[in-house]
A = this chain, B = another copy of it.
Amino acid sequence: MELLKKRILEDGVVLNGNILKVDSFLNHQMDVALFNEFGKEFKRRFSDTKVTKILTIEASGIGIATIVAQHFDNVPVVFAKKMDDSKLGNNVYQSYVHSFTKNKDYFVRVSKDFINEGDQILIIDDFLANGCAAKGLIDIVRQANANPIGVGIVIEKGFQPGREVIESLDVKVESLAIIDRFDNNQVYFK
């Protein structure tokens, strides 16, 4: 998606040679008009499959997923929780996820009330790197006997194994921008 690549080149900052900071438009300050362009593009790429629900993960997936849902007939959006939430109780699907960014393990949890057997679930997230979060979400969808119809990612780090991990689970991945490499603090796309 050219508009997004242009924006990454203009406003993204590469830290320490391998971290891409895009918090001016994606995951701290959010550009809602741009998110609507993501929505149009995801709709185009997943137009062949019925979507009954969008699943994302707190926190930075939430804004993107709610805007994207408008392009899928306002289907409900569910966000998986990383933190303990006493209100969730024991009525949850959960999966154990490793975060390489934070170098720790955590549970992602979704109430059993909100993913139903037969649901056609599109998973949306801001970044794909090692694929751990997406893998956890796919696991949760399958625990519910629902169908993960695809994973829609805004920015994929193409030099990390996330895509391979998801595709090995037989789930389609669509990323709006795929980074080939960082070189001298510059971003190069595939």
> Pick the contact of A35 from B33, B66, B110 — CB < 8 Å?
B66
A75 neighbours in B (Cβ, 8 Å):
32
CB-based contact B63/A32 at 8 Å: no
> Pick the contact of A74 from B21, B32, B59 — CB < 8 Å?
B32
Complex: chain B residue closest to A109, CB-CB: B28
A77-B114 in contact given A62-B62, A87-B21 (Cβ < 8 Å): no
CB-based contact B28/A111 at 8 Å: yes
For chain A, residues 59 to 94, give those with C-beta under 8 angstroms from any C-beta of chain B. 59, 62-63, 65-67, 69-70, 74-79, 81, 87-88
> Pick the contact of A66 from B28, B63, B78, B79 — CB < 8 Å?
B63
- Tallying the copies of this chain within the complex gives 2
CB-based contact A114/B29 at 8 Å: yes
- Looking at A58, A66, A70, the one whose CB has the most chain B CB atoms below 10 A away is A66
> Pick the contact of A67 from B24, B66, B81 — CB < 8 Å?
B66
CB-based contact B111/A23 at 8 Å: yes
A180 neighbours in B (Cβ, 8 Å):
none
A30 neighbours in B (Cβ, 8 Å):
62, 66, 76-79
| A107 → chain B closest CB, angstroms | 15
CB-based contact B32/A69 at 8 Å: yes
Complex: chain B residue closest to A66, CB-CB: B63
| A70 → chain B closest CB, angstroms | 6
| A93 → chain B closest CB, angstroms | 12
CB-based contact A29/B76 at 8 Å: yes
Q: How far is the CA of A147 from the CA of B69 in the complex (A)?
A: 32
Nearest 5 pairs of A and B residues by beta carbon: A58-B59, A63-B66, A62-B62, A29-B114, A59-B59
Extra A-B contacts (5), CB below 8 Å, given A31-B76, A32-B69, A32-B75: A28-B111, A29-B76, A32-B66, A59-B79, A63-B66
